[in-house]
Structure 1
Amino acid sequence: MSTVIEQPVEARLVAAAPRMPSIPATLHYDRSDPFAVRMTFPAPATLEGVEVCWTFSRELLTAGLLGPEGYGDVRVRPYGYDRTVLEFHAPEGTAVVHVRSGEVRRFLQATSELVPTGLEHLQLDLDRDLAELMRDA
């Protein structure tokens, strides 16, 4: 069984222009980092022309499907019948994208099949991680 889930999603960038262009993005989940998800935008879709990856909690993404969540750099909230809004705040500015909620739910379902919600701690090897930290000290 794979320990990584990657799911392409179609994101719509909310901009001042009346048309919201679609941009490709990928949701990632890795069993070795069981509390986190990543959303990656390829270089052509970013202002800087480099791939951009945001990491945030799986719990934030899940809760954001039901109501507004997040107070930091990443915020998630439902929008309409089948859209989820993700806001990414950085010193350079804020990016707001819409993603189909069904795509987010499918992704979260796959992550839950890999690592059930509430059992993430069982994936961690604290002894190994502590030994690695001490080795570097």
Structure 2
Amino acid sequence: MITVIEQAVQARLVATAPKVETVPVTLCYDRADPFAVRMAFPALATLEGVEVSWTFARELLMSGVRNPAGCGDVRVRPYDGDRTSIEFHAPEGVAIVLMTTAELQRFLERAAEIVIPGTEHLYLDLDHGLAELMRGPH
């Protein structure tokens, strides 16, 4: 049974300058972390020149493709009929990417095949998590 999915998508990086670049982005969903999705940006798309990943709630992405969602570091909202805007807020500034809504929905459908939304709690390994907490720093 598949427990992890990755999906490559193209995103438009909206910079403060008037140019807009297309960058490859990888979306990842892992049943071991059932409430979260990860979005990885390649080094060429980051200020630091290294790959950067953002992890945020799957529910935020699910809600944001339909209606504006989020008020923290990650905000998702419909942009137009075909695209969704995802904003990443960091101390260095704000990055805005536009992604095709259909690709995001396809990713969410694939994730739902691994863990049905609303059943995430069934996949948490609470004993392992508690053991890690109790073990403390190494």
- Band the TM-score falls in, shorter-chain normalisation: over 0.9
Q: Give the drift of 1:17.
A: 4.2
What is residue 122 of structure 1 aligned with on the other side? 122
Q: Give the drift of 1:18.
A: 4.1
The CA deviation string for residues 41-88 of structure 1, in whole angstroms up to 9 with x for no partner, is: 011111110111001000000000111110100000001111000000
Q: Count the aligned residue pairs.
A: 137
Tell me how far apart the structure 1 counterparts of residues 21 and 135 of structure 2 sit (CA, whole Å): 48
Q: Give the drift of 1:15.
A: 2.3
Q: Structure 2: any 5+ residue segments left out of the alignment?
A: none
Secondary structure (helix, strand or coil) at the match of 1:2 reads coil
What is residue 107 of structure 2 aligned with on the other side? 107
Q: Give the drift of 1:16.
A: 4.0
Matches within 5 A, 1:1-137: 1-136=1-136
Which aligned runs of 4 or more in structure 1 are off by greater than 2 angstroms?
Answer: 15-19
What is the identity, as a one-letter code, of the residue corresponding to 2:38?
R
TM-score (norm 1): 0.95
Tell me how far apart the structure 1 counterparts of residues 17 and 125 of structure 2 sit (CA, whole Å): 48
Tell me how far apart the structure 2 counterparts of residues 128 and 96 of structure 1 sit (CA, whole Å): 36
Tell me how far apart the structure 1 counterparts of residues 18 and 126 of structure 2 sit (CA, whole Å): 50
Two-structure CA RMSD over aligned residues (Å) = 1.3
TM-score (norm 2): 0.94
Tell me how far apart the structure 2 counterparts of residues 88 and 128 of structure 1 sit (CA, whole Å): 31
Tell me how far apart the structure 2 counterparts of residues 16 and 134 of structure 1 sit (CA, whole Å): 45
Tell me how far apart the structure 1 counterparts of residues 34 and 11 of structure 2 sit (CA, whole Å): 24
Identity of aligned residues (%): 64
Q: Which stretch of the first structure deviates more once superposed, 14-23 or 62-71? A: 14-23
Q: Give the drift of 1:131.
A: 2.3
Secondary structure (helix, strand or coil) at the match of 1:25 reads strand
Q: Structure 1: any 5+ residue segments left out of the alignment?
A: none
Secondary structure (helix, strand or coil) at the match of 1:70 reads coil
Q: Give the drift of 1:136.
A: 2.9
